[in-house]
C-alpha cells in the first residue's frame, strides 16, 4: 500500500500567501513528520506530530493530524520566496520499525516574490 | 549542531563496478538508515541498522547491497555490481530521540 501521499503535487503561490499541503496514509502510525528538501539537497526535518496529537505549531508552520481520516496537513503562513522547496510527509509505524520512515511523493512549492 | 555527513557528494561509476558510499552518523545515535531517491521520485527506505546488524530491509535491498559499521563511527553502503537503475541520490540518516537526521546525500550516477 502507498503511504504518505501528498496533494497537491505542485503548488505555486505569491509571497505573503499561505500554503497548505495535505498528506494521506493507509496504515496505523506512531508519528508523522514533515520534511523539506531544497532542489538536489538533503532532507531537513520540519516538525513531528504524534498519533495522539491533533495539532502542532512551530514558527510559521502548523501541522494537523486526523487519525480517523488518516490524513495530515502542513500550513505555511506568510510564505517567503525562501520557502520554495519540495515538502514531504513521512510516517513512522513505531514498534519493530523503530525510526523507519515511509515517505510520500512530495509537494513542490514555488513561492513567487 | 551535530550533523550527519556523507561522502562523496557525487560519484560517477561504470556499470558493473562496486561502489561504497560513506556516512558518519551523529555520534551518540544508535539507529542508522539508508534511503534512496531516484530523480523526481519519492524517498525510499533501503535498510535500518542497529547494534551492528540489519534490523529491517526493503525489497530493494537485495544481495547486491550490503551495509557495515566498520569502525564504530563510519556507516557504509556497498553496491557490489552497479546497474544503471541504481543511479539515485542516497541518503544516510541516524535517529535521535524523536527525529531522523539526514545527511546531504551522495548522488550516484551509473554510466
Mean pLDDT over the full length of chain B: 93
CB atoms A99 and B31 under 8 Å: yes
Q: How far is A27 from chain B (nearest CA, A)?
A: 16
- A7 falls in which pLDDT band (50, 70, 90)? confident
CB atoms A100 and B45 under 8 Å: yes
Backbone dihedral angles phi then psi of residue B85, each to the nearest 5 degrees: -75, -5
Average pLDDT (B33-51) is 93
With beta carbons less than 8 A apart as the criterion, state whether B23 and B92 touch. Answer: yes
- Collect all residues of chain B within an 8 Å Cβ-Cβ radius of residue A99: 31, 33, 48, 95, 100
What is the structure's pLDDT at A8? 83
pLDDT above 80 for B35: yes
What is the structure's pLDDT at A1? 31
Element (H, E) at A17: none
Report helix, strand or coil for A100.
strand
Closest CA relative to residue B24, chosen from B2, B43, B48, B46: B2
Residue in B closest to A30 by C-alpha: B98
Cell numbers describing residue A96: 519493530
A93/A15: higher pLDDT? A15
Rounded distance between C-alpha atoms, residue A92 and residue A90, angstroms:
7
Amino acid at each position: 500500500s502507498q503511504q504518505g501521499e501528498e496533494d497537491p503535487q505542485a503548488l505555486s503561490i505569491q509571497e505573503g500567501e499561505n500554503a497548505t499541503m495535505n498528506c494521506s496514509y493507509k496504515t496505523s502510525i506512531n508519528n508523522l513528520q514533515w520534511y523539506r528538501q531544497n532542489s538536489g539537497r538533503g532532507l531537513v526535518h520540519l516538525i513531528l506530530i504524534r498519533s495522539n496529537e491533533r495539532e502542532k505549531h512551530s514558527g510559521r508552520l502548523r501541522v494537523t493530524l486526523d487519525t480517523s481520516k488518516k490524513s495530515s496537513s502542513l500550513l505555511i503562513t506568510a510564505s517567503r520566496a525562501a520557502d520554495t522547496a519540495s515538502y514531504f510527509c513521512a510516517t513512522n509505524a513505531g514498534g519493530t520499525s523503530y525510526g523507519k520512515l515511509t515517505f510520500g511523493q512530495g509537494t513542490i512549492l514555488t513561492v513567487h516574490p | 549542531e551535530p550533523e550527519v555527513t556523507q561522502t562523496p557528494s557525487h560519484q560517477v561509476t561504470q556499470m558493473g563496478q562496486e561502489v561504497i558510499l560513506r556516512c558518519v552518523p551523529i555520534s551518540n545515535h544508535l539507529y542508522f538508515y539508508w534511503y534512496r531517491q531516484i530523480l523526481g521520485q519519492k524517498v525510499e527506505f533501503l535498510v535500518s541498522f542497529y547494534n551492528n546488524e540489519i534490523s529491517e530491509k526493503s525489497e530493494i535491498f537485495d544481495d547486491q547491497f550490503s551495509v557495515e559499521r566498520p569502525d564504530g563511527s563510519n556507516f557504509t553502503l556497498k553496491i557490489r555490481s552497479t546497474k544503471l537503475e541504481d543511479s539515485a541520490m542516497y541518503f544516510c540518516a541516524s535517529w535521535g530521540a524523536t527525529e531522523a537526521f539526514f545527511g546531504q546525500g551522495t548522488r550516484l550516477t551509473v554510466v
